């Protein structure tokens, strides 16, 4: 057994002990009950604060452009705030914002909050039309809509960070097993093991083999054969059973598992698609002649999604270029003074649907880079293997600074305006790198490459190439406008830290 495997095994055992201690202090169901109670309290406080701040800004701050004839009686608005806050909370409940599977989901949770706030806003507008005696200042209502979304999201963001911290001590973790130790099952395990805040504590595999102590994948062992699934669930107090469908050859056995555990309130049963991570454009189920069939979507983003992403790209890019244009000029001057050659370097890369284009970057290398590399054969080999060099002798002093803080990539904002790139997306690659994506290369080019993305905020060049591929596939499969906004905000501190960039 390798040192790495021994460490992984120790960590999984240690975490298992922490979970046992945490559950002995507060049972798992009680943990979630306390969390939902905390959510309700935080939501009430945040919604009430949002309504009160909107009143303060609308009626107590002399902006000058509001209609001063509107009702400003505080007692009237206090009653209105109480009724509206109750309405908002009811909408949150109806939208599933206190159901466990919708919690701690990041962008999914934010989208539900936005939808709930919008529904509350529209209901009050409709009530104002139907009841003329209901006097509501439009400015107050608009600010209330925006503030309830922002404040409720911020409150849940803080609570989520608290839960992530508690998970390191064994709280809010559900023991999970994967049925099937084939390639698909191992892909599933790799994804779950790398996502430490998923809330699942992966115990191991259930396969056709007898229990073995030697790890099958990382620190995960086979806990027993599939015909002992029920005993394994009871013995290890399993809460999540994940079926790698391609590993189960017998349809009757699959049906039997669903009969036993599909409606159980103790175990949550999940079934992979059978083509895990290979198809990232999305799957939908449609019925034809009363037969449910899985349809593979041809593109990842629908027309409405494309318009949202387009609006975000153009709005943020144009605003950004206006603000940083003097800074771009300064960088161009420094490059010309530091070494002879053009300011802009053009790199031929792969774009949407395999269309090649030239990505613009500030030049960070000397012009005779090929000659320099010939004198460093070991670095040349590393470059061919990883497409990156941590200590590249071709990089100039100014270039090193630009790369450290990703400033060399700022000209790609013009690629965004040309719709060759997006602000957020998978990492752009050269034509030679396509083969390194193996079975995933069919999906990589279904969306525009990004100026930033999951790879940028997850370690940049310090992460392995396989990890970059996995992050790209995750982004494509889970795209939403909220994920783009989250990654844009996370990019700023990631770049300022300057780690992993070379």
Sequence-distant (6+) residues with CB within 8 A of 315 are none
Q: Which three-class secondary structure state does DSSP give residue 129?
A: helix
Same domain flag for 86 and 45: yes
What pLDDT is recorded for position 395? 81
Whole-prediction pTM value? 0.68
C-beta of residue 101 within 8 angstroms of C-beta of residue 117: no
Whether 50 maps to a domain, the answer reads: yes
* 50 and 130 share one domain: yes
The last residue of a domain, from among 229, 258, 276: 276
* 220 within some domain: yes
102 and 203 in a single domain? The answer is: no
Beta bridge mates, 270: 242
Higher-confidence residue: 367 or 373? Answer: 367
When mean pLDDT is compared across 56-65, 281-290, 333-342, 358-367, the lowest value belongs to: 281-290
Both 427 and 398 in one domain: the answer is yes
Distances, alpha carbon 246 to alpha carbons 273, 286, 461, in Å = 8, 21, 34
Buried b (16+ CB within 10 A) or exposed e, 321-332: eeeeeeebeebe
For residue 8, is it within any domain? no
Please give the Cα distance from 333 to 363 (Å, whole number): 12
Among 153-167, 258-272, 275-289, top mean pLDDT goes to 153-167
Given a cut of 80, whether residue 47 has pLDDT beyond it is yes
Inter-CA distances, 385 with 125, 177, 184, 418, Å: 60, 35, 26, 31
> Does residue 48 sit in helix, strand or coil?
helix
160 & 51 share domain: yes
Q: Which of 152, 167, 182 is the last residue of a domain?
A: 167
Confidence of residue 264 (pLDDT cuts 50, 70, 90): confident
What CA–CA distances, in Å, run from 481 to 436, 468, 475?
28, 21, 11
Measure the CA–CA gap between 242 and 377, rounded to whole angstroms: 47
- The SS3 call for residue 341 is coil
Distances (CA, A) of 296 to 274, 285, 354: 13, 9, 20
- Which domain covers residue 338, as residue numbers? 303-497
Q: How many CB atoms lie within 10 A of CB 7?
A: 11
Please say which residue of 116, 150, 167 terminates a domain.
Answer: 167
DSSP 217: B
Alpha-helix runs per DSSP H in 26-134: 28-55, 74-94, 107-130
Q: Which two tokens stand for residue 16?
A: 């298992």
Report residue 2's pLDDT band, with 50, 70 and 90 as the boundaries.
very low
User: Element (H or E) spanning 451, and its range?
Assistant: strand 450-452
């Amino acid at each position: 057994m390798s040192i790495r495997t021994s460490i992984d095994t120790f960590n999984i055992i240690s975490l298992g002990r922490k979970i046992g201690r945490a559950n002995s202090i507060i049972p798992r169901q009680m943990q979630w009950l306390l969390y939902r109670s905390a959510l309700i309290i935080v939501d009430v406080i945040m919604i009430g604060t949002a309504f009160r701040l909107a009143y303060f800004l609308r009626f107590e701050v002399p902006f000058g452009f509001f209609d001063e004839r509107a009702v400003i009686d505080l007692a009237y608005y206090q009653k209105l705030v109480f009724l509206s806050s109750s309405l908002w909370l009811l909408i949150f409940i109806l939208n599933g914002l206190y159901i466990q599977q919708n919690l701690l989901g990041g962008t999914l949770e934010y989208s539900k909050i936005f939808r709930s706030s919008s529904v509350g806003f529209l209901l009050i507008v409709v009530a104002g039309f139907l009841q003329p005696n209901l006097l509501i200042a439009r400015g107050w209502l608009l600010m209330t809509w925006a503030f309830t979304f922002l404040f409720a999201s911020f409150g849940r963001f803080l609570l989520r960070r608290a839960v992530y911290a508690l998970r390191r001590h064994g709280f809010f973790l559900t023991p999970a097993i994967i049925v099937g130790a084939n390639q698909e099952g191992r892909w599933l395990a790799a994804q779950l093991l790398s996502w430490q805040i998923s809330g699942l504590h992966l115990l191991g595999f259930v396969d056709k083999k007898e229990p073995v102590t030697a790890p099958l994948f990382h620190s995960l062992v086979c806990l027993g054969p599939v015909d002992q699934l029920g005993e394994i669930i009871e013995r290890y107090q399993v809460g999540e059973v994940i079926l790698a469908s391609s590993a189960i050859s017998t349809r009757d056995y699959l049906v039997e598992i669903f009969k036993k555990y599909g409606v159980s309130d103790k175990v949550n049963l999940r079934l992979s698609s059978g083509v895990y991570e290979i198809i990232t454009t999305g799957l939908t189920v449609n019925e034809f002649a009363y037969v449910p069939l899985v349809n593979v979507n041809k593109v990842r983003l629908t027309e409405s999604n494309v318009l949202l992403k387009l609006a975000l790209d153009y709005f943020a890019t144009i605003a950004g270029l206006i603000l940083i244009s003097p800074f771009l000029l300064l960088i161009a001057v420094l490059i010309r003074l530091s070494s002879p050659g053009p300011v802009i370097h053009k790199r031929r890369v792969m774009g949407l649907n395999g269309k090649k284009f030239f990505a613009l970057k500030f030049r960070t290398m000397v012009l005779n880079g090929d000659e320099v590399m010939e004198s460093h054969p070991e670095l040349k080999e590393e470059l061919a293997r990883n497409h990156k060099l941590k200590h590249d002798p071709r990089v100039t002093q100014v270039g090193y600074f630009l790369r450290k803080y990703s400033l060399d990539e700022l000209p790609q904002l013009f690629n965004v305006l040309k719709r060759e790139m997006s602000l957020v997306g998978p990492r752009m690659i050269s034509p030679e790198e396509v083969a390194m994506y193996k079975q995933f290369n069919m999906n990589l080019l279904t969306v525009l490459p990004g100026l930033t993305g999951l790879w940028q905020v997850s370690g940049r060049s310090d992460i392995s190439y396989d990890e970059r591929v996995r992050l790209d596939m995750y982004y494509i499969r889970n795209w939403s406008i909220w994920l783009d906004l989250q990654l844009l905000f996370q990019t700023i501190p990631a770049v300022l830290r300057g780690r992993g960039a070379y």
